[in-house]
Amino acid sequence: MKFADLTPGRGSIAIIGGGGKTGLMERLEAEFHESGRPALCTVTTRLGRGQLPHLARAEAQSPAEAANAARRAAAGDRLILSGPYANAEKLSGLPLAWLSPVQAALPENAAFIIEADGSAGRPLKAHAAHEPVLPPQPCPRGAVLRQGHEASQTTWPSSSAFAPQPYYLIAVLGLSALTLPWPKAVHRPEILARHITPPPADQSLSPAQIADFIRRAWASLHPDFIFLNQADLLSNDALPQARDLAARLAAVGYAVALGSLKEQWWAAVNQ
């Protein structure tokens, strides 16, 4: 199974969460490249220096420069598009207002892959009010249909040269969250504790607790797809917990896959 087959295969694909966002962006870009379709990667938060080493860096300091990178990608260049260095270790992301012009400069069959979240290396993300840093959306997330990857029709004024486009939203969750003490597993643990009652600080979250948190905290985000990564970090004794979590998420209507980007295997989970 290819990840690209789980997405629309074109348009914007936004990735949020923790425990493998950049790895998933890398995997998607490689799959699109192997299939002969153009793909362009970018970030709206920050990206560590040296990540995605097989992609050439395109720095943009204006919407026109960002759109030029899109034309390069359409011509076959494999790029990570970002702003300038925020500091010695991090690249800055693109302003949200620049994303629509970039999308408009890409051909219809191209994929625009956007890492739209940060998790400080933690496998589970609890979002603050300003997070994730997602592209503008022309309709409420709940109006985006999973079947067929089609969005509800929206008519934009003719004066809107770069109207927002629907995006396909993938949420990543690292399965090491099932084994770590929960405050070390969660980025912004104090926010998680507003949604569920966590266990003692030296214990890990259960599949039921993680599923309950996602159901409560991610409801407004409406991810089209959830990938449970890091199965390679689990012992044989812990793998049933991962399957339990996947089944709980699938039972409430999420499209779910479980696997390991590191070991390059994954499988869809049926409801």
pLDDT of residue 48 exceeding 60, the answer is yes
Q: Chain centroid to CA 222: how far?
A: 12
Q: What is the dihedral of CA 183, 185, 191, 195, to 10 degrees?
A: -100
pLDDT of residue 144 exceeding 60, the answer is no
Minimal CA–CA distance to 112: which of 76, 81, 145? 81
Structure tokens at 47: 């990206």
Banded pLDDT at 152 (limits 50, 70, 90) = very low
Model confidence pLDDT, tens digit, residues 181-192:
999 999 999 999
How confident is the model at residue 163, as a pLDDT?
55
Structure tokens at 130: 């300003």
What CA–CA distances, in Å, run from 112 to 6, 147, 148, 176, 243?
15, 20, 18, 29, 31
* Contact of 219 with 189, CB cutoff 8 Å: no
Banded pLDDT at 138 (limits 50, 70, 90) = low
Structure tokens at 170: 């993938």
Minimal CA–CA distance to 226: which of 150, 93, 124? 124
* Contact of 178 with 245, CB cutoff 8 Å: yes
Q: Which residue has the higher pLDDT, 154 or 79?
A: 79
Banded pLDDT at 123 (limits 50, 70, 90) = very high
Banded pLDDT at 3 (limits 50, 70, 90) = confident
pLDDT of residue 142 exceeding 70, the answer is no
Specify the pTM: 0.89
Structure tokens at 123: 């496998």
Mean pLDDT within 118-141? 85
Structure tokens at 37: 């379709």
How confident is the model at residue 162, as a pLDDT?
54
How confident is the model at residue 89, as a pLDDT?
85
Domain boundaries 3-139+165-269, CATH class: alpha beta
Amino acid at 192: L
pLDDT of residue 1 exceeding 90, the answer is no
Beta bridge partners of 112: 12, 40
Q: Is 169 exposed, middle or buried (0-12, 13-18, 19+ CB in 10 A)?
A: buried
Q: In terms of DSSP bridges, do strands 225-229 and 39-43 run parallel, antiparallel, or are they unpaired?
A: unpaired
pLDDT of residue 137 exceeding 80, the answer is no
Q: Give the least confident one: 84-88, 132-136, 182-186, 219-223.
A: 84-88
Beta bridge partners of 15: 115, 170
DSSP state of 33: H
Q: In whole angstroms, what is the distance from residue 230 CA to residue 238 CA? A: 12
Percent of the chain with pLDDT over 70: 88
Mean pLDDT within 66-72? 96
* Contact of 114 with 99, CB cutoff 8 Å: yes
Minimal CA–CA distance to 185: which of 205, 171, 169, 200? 205
* Contact of 221 with 192, CB cutoff 8 Å: no
Q: In whole angstroms, what is the distance from residue 27 CA to residue 269 CA? A: 19
Q: In whole angstroms, what is the distance from residue 75 CA to residue 107 CA? A: 10
Minimal CA–CA distance to 55: which of 139, 136, 115, 135? 115
Show Cβ contacts of residue 161 under 8 Å, excluding neighbours closer than 6 positions: 104
pLDDT of residue 261 exceeding 80, the answer is yes
Each domain of the chain, given as residue ranges in start order, spans 3-139+165-269
